[in-house]
Structure 1
Amino acid sequence: MNAYGSIRSFVLRAGRMTDAQQRDYENLSSKWCIPFSQSHINYSDIFGNTENVIIEIGFGMGQATALIAEENPDTNYIGIEVHRPGVGRLLGEIAKRNLSNLFIIEHDAVEVLEAMIPDNSVQGFHIFFPDPWPKKKHHKRRLIKRPFTDMLCKKLSRGGYVHMATDWEPYAQFALEELNAVAGLKNTYNGFAETNRQRPQTKFELKGKNAGREIFELVYEKIDENGTENSRA
């Protein structure tokens, strides 16, 4: 059990890995996957530089994650995911695109942030299309809720941001309330953000659009203890 409760925001599904995903997982995980541990990460040791670090929580199959890392070679990325087929798929993308600024942690995001991520060290969190858990009895499983949102703020550096996107309006409204309640975060828009045209479209986003659902985005920035904003590094 972690300090934020024992309820998981995910359910491990026994998804079948393709031959390619299995091969890439077996051949590449030792190079690009960071083992879970109870000690803080040293980003310089992992990336070989001191550039900003962005963490994506729940990258799915990872196509958008790889594209973002490829388009921003001067930023470091860590993707957190528990579903092995997606890990295998992203490992293949890392190798195919010859990326050196993207690593993976295959573990529960709550435990990773608690144990491995230093406070005030992350420039941004990407949380794109997390499971909305639409049934009321399952709302307790939603990732974007307090006190987890407080921990996101704690891990952010000066001027760091949280960027969430969802195609489920009730979850969007729920997340808006939960993030608004965090004293150290400020909504950079008056409500929902404008659609980010530069964010690559994910498989889950396309599925939502095909079902006729609207995309909702939230962008929050960390403010200092006096409630003033910091310019991003």
Structure 2
Amino acid sequence: MPVRPNEPRFPDGPKPDPAGSHFERRIRSFQPRRSRVTTAQADALQRLWPKWGLDIDGQRVLDLPGMFSGVERIVLEIGFGMGEATVQMAADDPSTGILAVDVHTPGQGNLLNLADQAGLTNVRVANGDAIILLRAMLPDDSLDGLRVYFPDPWPKKRHVKRRLIQPEFLSLVAGPLKPGALVHCATDWEDYAEQMLDVLTAHPDYANTIADGGYAPRPDFRPLTRFEGKGLDKQHVVHDLLFRRR
């Protein structure tokens, strides 16, 4: 039967607007992308969302140790695309729990499906605005790392204010990050890489892991992503940044 306009596409899955009117609207650093959900993705959303998914509603504080059993570390990944790289990192390091945030429904379903096929138990998928998650739902000193790989570059000058990596964002995420937590960003947009390096270097809560204060080589634990491949095909140069929470 067709879904009626006011009915959710996946009754037991992610909500279209989980925070609703509870939080003020702000300049968004992401664009919801619309694309077709495959049968496998839809099945994963229906079966696995109640077990491994959560909506970012801003109405509760998460018990991260309770969500991840048997892990030594918990990292937050903001923006995972279709989830292939997330699954590979989770499989390569089962001692690390990954809380992966995105708003792309096909990607959420794909990540759940891939994690299920791989038999993984150390991935959780969060739906909604990562800013609300950081502001209202994560306790201080609860994260061992932050990963932001190939965020929307917002290349037009009038849109630069929408970029995620800004001083205000770094101040916000500093609360949930434990001292010594690793902040890892990557981008194939040269001017965004320069902005990331500038704001991270200037922020008092972070220290560059690279002695000369520059970019880092891609660490072995970060696999090549789909978006990275597209950038490399266009002769873009990929920059990794590795900073520690002081």
Task: Determine which of 18, 36, 59 is the counterpart of 1:16.
Answer: 36
Q: How does 1:1-233 map to 2 (within 5 A)?
A: 6-37=26-57, 38-49=59-70, 51-189=72-210, 190-223=213-246
Structure 1 gaps, min length 5: 224-233
Q: Distance in 2 between matches of 1:218 and 1:50?
A: 25
CA RMSD of aligned residues (A): 1.7
CA shift for structure 1 position 50: 5.9
What's the TM-score, normalizing by structure 1?
0.91
User: 2:138 and 2:39 mapped to 1: Cα distance?
Assistant: 33
Deviations 1:45-68 (A, max 9, x none): 211346211110000100000110
SS at match of 2:112: helix
* 1:227 counterpart residue number: none
Deviations along 1:64-101, one digit per CA (max 9) or x if unpaired, are 00110111111111000111010000010111011111
| Structure 2: gaps (5+ residues) | 1-20
Count how many residue pairs are aligned between Structure 1 and Structure 2: 223
Q: Distance in 2 between matches of 1:12 and 1:52?
A: 29
Task: Tell me: CA distance 1:188–1:151, structure 2 relative to 1, closer, same or farther (3 Å).
Answer: same
Q: What is the TM-score normalised by the length of structure 2?
A: 0.86
Aligned to 1:230: none
Take 2:132 and 2:22, find their aligned partners in 1: how far apart are those partners? Answer: 7
CA distance in 1, matches of 2:120, 2:137: 22
1:2 CA drift (Å): 9.2
Q: CA deviation at 1:193?
A: 0.8
